[in-house]
Amino acid sequence: MDAGWLFLIPLVPLCGAIVNAAFGARLQRRFGRHAVSVVAVGVVVAAMGLGIGAVAQLAALPARDPALGRVLVDRVFTMVDVGGLRVDFTLALDALSAVLVLVITVVGALIHVYAVGYMADEPAYWRFFACLSLFVFAMLVLVLGDGFVPLLVGWEGVGVCSYLLIGFWYAEPKNARAGMKAFVVNRVGDWGLFAGVALLFWAVAGSWSAIDHRYYFDVGHVQPTLSFRALEQLFGAPEFAHAFAAKTIFGAPVPLVVSLLLLFGACGKSAQAPLHVWLPDAMAGPTPVSALIHAATMVTAGVYLIARLRFLFVLSPAALDVVVAVGLVTALGGAMLGMFQYDIKRVLAYSTISQLGFMFVALGVGAWGAALFHLVTHACFKACLFLGSGSVIAGMHRLTHARHTGHLDEGVESETDRHAMAAGDDEHQPAQLDPRVEADPTDPQDMRNMGGLGELMPRTRWSYLVACWAIAGFPWAAGFWSKDQILAAAYGKSMALWLVGVATAGMTAFYMFRSYYLTFEARPATAAHRRHVRESPAVMTSVLTILAVASLVVGPLGAWLLAHVTGDFAAHEAAARVTAGLMLASVAMATLGWAAARAFYKDEAEHAKLRAANRLRYENLHAFAFDNFRIDELYEATFVRGFAACARAAAWLDEVVVDGVVHALAAVTRGAAWLTGAIDRLFVDGAVDGVAALVLGGGRAARRVQTGRVSHYVLGMTMGVVLLVVWASWW
């Protein structure tokens, strides 16, 4: 159904971005930062309103052909129309996009509000919000775009915004490098994406002969297209799907190859193994960025892509198995790595990677609805967790800043403090969690510098706790519903799969509660903490509260909504019944994880005792796992150094060999020129000079007759006369 106003949904944030980029600095100077806030938050809220309106309109459409589903379409303009290809910039809202639009705009709006508080002290306030609005625009284009071209515009757009926002504080080289790493790793994945798109484009309309390796169009004149709706229609016809599944390229089935290539692209964006290395480093960006981009939205683009192209993936069971494998490895790996981190944001980063792995597993076993559901719930509680950590970091920042500048002793207020100061025990010592790794006392993100913040930041603490409850999958909260659906679907596929999934869920509970206990409990807050760490302003904590409530509520609410709005979406879904037994098992596992975390980390004193009793042997894995299984080093040593070496080799080749040939030719020419010149000088000119010399010499010789003596002349005359006479007489 035509809805010509859909383009407004991404356009409004774009306008906000342009206004803030062009005039933000001026607005901020004249009217204060709230001028910028109003613009930024306003446009996101407007987009949210428009999005909700669109979804309502979509839901009101009568249900139609289950293969097509209900959809609102807006053909904005034609981008390309040549020969065999027509690409329209079309926005389409169907069930899948609707869910994502809601996530992006609602969670996005909340995070924008939070960022108003979080970034309050930032001088480049306007630049932050300009980039953030631009990001919302790009993400909306990504999910609303009907076709690979709008998708790619959004895909790369979010990549650029991610780059700009990770490196927001670009004066620090580490941040700039992190931004570049994110972009380049995404680009590596994009190689697969582009190749997959190109292959899909041509494979739809024809195939390559295995004999002469040439491309031939199929009889039937299917027009190759890049539009998702057109592709869905094509693949909806069973004969076409079968014919497509039978095509091969280099002996491998085309659907498999295309799916794997697109999966590679999705891995890049969604931080799945082996392209996950950028996400932990991306935590260098401001926390709202981590929440919005690297938890709720951008990293879900890969999930979205595969869900969007499910009609392709179902044609290749092998590809789906690969998806499951990738998701599983990532989920497990991410969970294991999360258990050992000290930086609170890194814990959350690995948690994100792990949860995305769960989503990929869901996609791979055919539980499309479950994957989407988990995406939504994950957005809620992960955003809450990140924002909560942001609140903690903001509070800790005051402490570490004071420590850094040596003003730790300021603000001594109470008697208790004075005593503590005198006794010398207000100085916070980093928790001795692992004597092998040094803690940096000025790092506001290091959990070893925290502890006991629960009493100082109650609202943050409770929302964080609720979110941990949700992510661990305890009853009633969001994770419970979505994760269990995934696990049930996995169980339907294979028992081993389910076991690994449940184990990962247990690890999730463990590391999340570990981070909770280390941050908010572990020990009573020291005086230094009490002096400098405060609860965050209401603008931030209210968002936390809303998200915490959402994490509780979105479970059942979402299940109901999904069934209604996306009923047609789940039409392909493998029916999964969450049996009581499975539910119990996963809750039990979660409880186990929580209990372990509580035992090890709730109380610092207990922790020290356990360490002394050598009960914490699992931490031997620490050195290896701490550093991302040393994958970063591996990539650095192989790809990065290899690439740099190739580049240097190419440059050397260019300067010495290729240019060397040119210079050699030039030298040969110069030599030939010298030779020719020599020949010219010696022989050609020599001949000329020789003649002249001959003439001169002859003349010199002949001149000697002229002696100037009269007697000689007389003799000459006489001889002449005699000769004449002789000659005359003979003649």
Partner 1 sequence: MTAIALMMTLLSVTPSSLTFDGAGEKLLHVRNDGDAAVRIERAELAPGSDGFALQPTNGRVLQPGESYELRVAFVPDGRHAQAFGGVQLHAADGEVTAVAVRAGGSWLLTLMIFFPLVGAALVMLAPRGRHALVRAIALGTSLVPLAAALHAVAHFDGAGGLQFVQHVVWIPAFNVEYFVGVDGLSILMVLLTALISTIAILASFGIDQQVRGYFALVLLLETGMLGTFVALDFFLFYIFWELMLVPMYFLIGIWGGPRKEYAAIKFFLYTLVGSVLILLAIIALYFHAAPTALVDGTPVQHTFDMLKLASNDWAHKGLTLFGCDFSRVVWVAFFIGFAIKIPIFPLHTWLPDAHVEAPTAVSVILAGVLLKMGAYGILRVNFAMLPAATEWAATTMTVLGAINIVYGGLCAFAQTDLKRLVAYSSVSHMGFCLVGMASFTDVGMNGAMLQMFNHGTITAMLFLLVGVLYDRAHTRQIDRFGGLAAAMPRYAFVLGLGFFASLGLPGLSGFVGELLVFLGAFAAHRVVVAIALFGVVITAAYHLWALQRVLLGRWNEGWRDRAQFFDLTAREKLTLAPLAAFVIVLGVWPMPLLRLVGPGLGELVRHVLG
Partner 2 sequence: MIGLQHFLVVSAALFALGLLTVATRRNAVAILMGVELILNAAALNFVAFAHFVAGAVGGVVFALFIIVLAAAEAAIALAIVLAIFRHFRTIDAHDVSTLKE
- Beta carbon of residue 730, minimum distance to partner 2 (angstroms, whole number): 21
Comparison of 158 and 509: residue with beta carbon closer to partner 1: 158
Q: 658, 667, 675, 725: which one contacts partner 1 (CB under 8 A)?
A: 658
Return the range that interacts with partner 1 (CB under 8 A); candidates 412-420, 486-494, 562-570, 644-652: 644-652
| Cα→Cα distances 577→55, 136, 486, 562, Å | 28, 36, 10, 16
- From the CB of residue 186, how many other CB atoms can be counted at a distance below 10 Å? 26
- Beta carbon of residue 676, minimum distance to partner 2 (angstroms, whole number): 42
Q: Binding partner of residue 656 among partner 2, partner 1, none, CB under 5 to 8 Å per kind?
A: none
d(CA 501, CA 358): 8
**Cα-Cα-Cα-Cα dihedral sign, residues 725, 726, 729, 730:** negative
d(CA 516, CA 602): 9
Comparison of 179 and 492: residue with beta carbon closer to partner 1: 179
726 binds partner 1 (CB under 8 A): no
User: Reduced to 3 states, what is the DSSP secondary structure of residue 85?
Assistant: strand
- From the CB of residue 215, how many other CB atoms can be counted at a distance below 10 Å? 12
Comparison of 77 and 727: residue with beta carbon closer to partner 1: 77
> 629: which DSSP letter?
G
Cα of first residue to Cα of last residue in the chain, in angstroms, is 133
78 binds partner 1 (CB under 8 A): yes
Comparison of 179 and 369: residue with beta carbon closer to partner 1: 179
d(CA 270, CA 247): 29
Whether residue 274 is preceded by a cis peptide bond, meaning omega within 30 degrees of 0, is yes
- Beta carbon of residue 722, minimum distance to partner 2 (angstroms, whole number): 11
Interacting residues toward partner 2 by CB under 8 A: 703, 706-711, 714-715, 718
631 binds partner 1 (CB under 8 A): no
- Beta carbon of residue 701, minimum distance to partner 2 (angstroms, whole number): 12
153 binds partner 1 (CB under 8 A): yes
Lookup: tokens for 343: 């930086």
- Beta carbon of residue 388, minimum distance to partner 1 (angstroms, whole number): 30
| Cα→Cα distances 191→136, 179, 470, Å | 24, 19, 36
Question: Any idea what the Cα angle at residue 627 is, between residues 624 and 628, rounded to 5°?
Answer: 95
- Beta carbon of residue 639, minimum distance to partner 1 (angstroms, whole number): 10
> 535: which DSSP letter?
P
Comparison of 524 and 698: residue with beta carbon closer to partner 2: 698
- Beta carbon of residue 250, minimum distance to partner 1 (angstroms, whole number): 8
Q: Binding partner of residue 703 among partner 2, partner 1, none, CB under 5 to 8 Å per kind?
A: partner 2
Strands 72-82 and 206-208, by their bridges, are unpaired
Lookup: tokens for 522: 């572990």
Q: Binding partner of residue 715 among partner 1, partner 2, none, CB under 5 to 8 Å per kind?
A: partner 2
Comparison of 16 and 145: residue with beta carbon closer to partner 1: 145
Return the range that interacts with partner 1 (CB under 8 A); candidates 190-198, 355-363, 451-459, 703-711: 190-198
- From the CB of residue 455, how many other CB atoms can be counted at a distance below 10 Å? 13
Lookup: tokens for 154: 């959004």
Comparison of 647 and 719: residue with beta carbon closer to partner 2: 719
- From the CB of residue 279, how many other CB atoms can be counted at a distance below 10 Å? 27
Number of shown-chain residues binding partner 1 (CB under 8 A): 60
Residues 231-290 that bind partner 1 (CB under 8 A): 249
Residues 204-223 that bind partner 1 (CB under 8 A): 206, 208, 214-215
Q: 5, 23, 194, 462: which one contacts partner 1 (CB under 8 A)?
A: 194
Return the range that interacts with partner 1 (CB under 8 A); candidates 356-364, 486-494, 501-509, 646-654: 646-654
d(CA 666, CA 668): 5
Q: Is 308 exposed, middle or buried (0-12, 13-18, 19+ CB in 10 A)?
A: buried
Residue with tokens 């290539």: 261
**Residue 129's closest CA among 91, 169, 165, 170?**
165
Comparison of 212 and 415: residue with beta carbon closer to partner 1: 212
Q: Where does this chain bind partner 1 (CB under 8 A)?
A: 77-85, 89, 149, 152-153, 155-157, 160, 163, 167, 170-173, 175-177, 179-180, 183-184, 187-188, 190-191, 194-195, 197-199, 201-202, 206, 208, 214-215, 249, 643-644, 646-651, 654, 658-659, 661-662, 666
